[in-house]
Amino acid sequence: MIQTPGYVFDIDAFRGQIRRVKKAWEIGLCYSVKANPFLVGKTPEEIDWLEVCSPGELEICKEKGVDPEKILFSGVNKTAQSVKDAFDYGVGIFTAESILHADLIEQEAKARNIKARTLLRLSAGSQFGMSEEDLTKILVAQKEGSGYPNLQIVGIHYFSGTQKTKVKEIAKELEALDAFLQTLKAQFDFIPEQIEYGTGLGVEYFISTKDGAEDGTPNTKDEALLAEVAPVLKDFAAKYPLTVEMGRFFAAGCGSYHTEVVDIKTTHGINYVICDGGINHLKYQGQVMGMHVPQICVRGKETDAPKETEATKAYCICGSLCTTADVLVRKAELPELTIGDILVFEKTGAYSVTEGLALFLSRELAAVYLKEGDNYTNVRPVTPVHALNS
């Protein structure tokens, strides 16, 4: 029995999704640890790299015994200490998101009398990465012998955003990246050993709609998008050694969030359901105050079996936080609910476990289970947080 509120992450489903991507694209793959750190140590051999974006994520990799040669140490906030710690662990590649980062990596590599394999991250117009001008300054310094002798610049890192569902957008980005790489080749004879590209491939979280009405049919756009983008990536990979970095598309489908119905009431004609979880645990990209309906399965607490009935009612599903923002779904057609029923929200394998309002109202952290085959392992029980707020 799953303790609620709680997540279940299906390791077989996670690995299966990665293998489907590998088969479809036949290029290098990188898993972004930030999508779900509980999956660290469970990636299949098809994953070439793990992107680590903070000292905390690096510590998780250490605890799980991740091969340091497979770690790409990224992140917008690097310090001399965090860079030193990454060197101490022996990470395979660093990313430099600014001239400061390049300086920090250079200084530590020089102190160790080694060359540090480094990707220069190109900005897509946000705080992540550096401008073309700054990136070029580093290459100029190397070419002229005025700086960065201990950086082995092996390629470019580029990521513009998440939840992309239009292949044309990805194709346009890769065309621009190709043009930039051609410029670098002409100016510096720069031939990359690795291009780290984050597709930000979109995941369809919500059940499909027609004329604004929920029809209850799970959306199957994910697999179609995977196939549609394949030729675009393969064309680019024919020119450059490409690694695609993703988190959401790998992990989303492997997770489910379980929360118990603790109260039901009707107010002003609306059937409100109060759950023992809430937005402190459940976070979908594009959730927008519960206006969209994700895939939800209703299970009886005692039987742990899905409720199967033709009769349904419209419910407003809310969490336990004392804020009107704590609406998981504003209107969902579900089998008639009773107190004690378990609502299982699907596709919660990416980000939800870490993006919720964890400390608000001093509610507990949700339990976490890893499922492999028919075996469930509780890796984190429901955990009180009140001590952190006092």
* Contact present, 255 and 8 (Cβ < 8 Å): yes
- Residue 257: closest CA among 385, 383, 366: 366
CB atoms inside a 10 Å sphere around CB 144: 8
Residue 301: pLDDT band with limits 50, 70, 90 = confident
CA torsion angle 23 28 32 36 (round to 10) = 30
φ, ψ for residue 239, nearest 5 deg: -100, -35
Cα separation of 20 and 25, whole Å? 9
The pLDDT assigned to 185 comes to 97
| CB hemisphere CA count around 230 (13 angstroms) | 14
Query: Residue 220 — very low, low, confident or very high, per pLDDT cuts 50/70/90?
Result: low
Helix axes 167-188, 221-237, angle to 10 degrees: 20
d(CA 150, CA 96): 13
pLDDT > 50? residue 279: yes
pLDDT tens for 169-195 read 999 999 999 999 999 999 999 999 999
The whole-number average pLDDT for the span 315-336 is 95
The mean of the pLDDT values for the chain is 93
Alpha carbons 236 and 227: distance in angstroms, whole number: 15
Note whether 246 and 199 are within 8 A (CB). yes
Tokens 């410029």 — which residue?
Answer: 183
| pLDDT for the residue numbered 274 | 98
Pairing of strands 93-96, 71-73: parallel
pLDDT average, residue stretch 105-127? 97
The string over 299-336, giving b where at least 16 C-beta atoms fall within 10 Å of a residue's C-beta and e elsewhere, is beeeeeeebeeeeeeebbbbbbbeeeebbbbbebebbe
Environment class of 363 (CB within 10 Å of its CB; exposed 0-12, middle 13-18, buried 19+)? buried
pLDDT of residue 257: 97
**Between helices 80-89 and 55-63, what is the axis angle to 10°?**
20
Rounded Cα distance between 214 and 378, Å, is 35
Tokens of 61: 């990799």
Q: What is the DSSP string of 85-98?
A: HHHHHT-SEEEE-S
Which pLDDT belongs to residue 208?
Answer: 59
Q: pLDDT at position 343, please?
A: 97
How many other CB atoms are there within 10 angstroms of residue 385's CB atom?
Answer: 15
Q: Which of 95, 49, 73 is nearest to 242 (CA)?
A: 49
Which pLDDT score is estimated for 329?
A: 95
Lowest mean pLDDT among 24-33, 98-107, 143-152, 299-308: 299-308
Instruction: Quote the pLDDT of residue 317.
Output: 97
Partnered with residue 118 across adjacent β-strands are 94, 153
Model pLDDT for residues 80-92, shown as the tens digit of each residue: 999 999 999 999 9
Backbone angles phi, psi at 68, to 5 degrees: -60, -25
Q: pLDDT tens digit string along 120-168?
A: 999 999 999 999 999 999 999 999 999 999 999 999 999 998 999 899 9
Residue for token pair 């923002």: 325
| 214 has a pLDDT exceeding 90 | no
Q: Is the pLDDT of residue 291 over 90?
A: no
Let me know: does 134 contact 163? Beta carbons within 8 Å: no
Q: What percent of the chain has pLDDT over 70?
A: 96
Q: How far is CA 217 from the centre of its chain?
A: 25
CA dist., res. 335 & res. 311, Å (int) = 6
Question: Predicted confidence band at 304 (pLDDT cuts at 50, 70, 90)?
Answer: confident
Domains of the chain, start order: 11-252 (3.20.20.10), 253-389 (2.40.37.10)
Say what the pLDDT of residue 209 is. Answer: 47
**Is the per-residue pLDDT at 45 higher than 70?**
yes
Contact 357, 266 (CB under 8 A): no
